[in-house]
Amino acid sequence: MRNAVKRSYPTSDPAAKSFERDFGTELDRLCREKISELVRAYLCFEVDEALARARYQRSLGDSAKAYRNGFDDPRTITTSAGPIKIRRPV
């Protein structure tokens, strides 16, 4: 069995290096954005569970446990992907 040789193709082209750097930055930004959306969706799900009703759904009778009041101001949480801004439902 032959030993696998990892090949790298170094480039001296500044445009290629810039593309690699920009791609990595864009990928990091996209990951943080998706993580933020996931956290927000999970928090909204928890609010639905706590209120025992979905958003825009009325509770039965006048027995509302609590009310929705939009979203909190953005907060920053730190993750391994970097800082992420989220807005909590209130």
1 or 69, greater pLDDT: 69
Where do the structural domains in the chain lie, given as residue ranges? 16-59+69-86
pLDDT of residue 48: 85
57 or 46, greater pLDDT: 46
- Chain segment 3-17, per-residue pLDDT in tens: 666 666 566 666 666
pLDDT value at 1 more than 60 = no
Tokens of 62: 């006048």
Helix (H) or strand (E) holding 46: helix 14-51
Neighbours of 8 (CB within 10 A): 5
Measure the CA–CA gap between 41 and 34, rounded to whole angstroms: 10
How many angstroms separate the Cα of 34 from the Cα of each of 24, 27, 50, 52? 15, 11, 24, 27
Q: How confident is the model at residue 23 (pLDDT cuts 50, 70, 90)?
A: confident
Helix (H) or strand (E) holding 78: strand 75-79
pTM score above 0.75: no
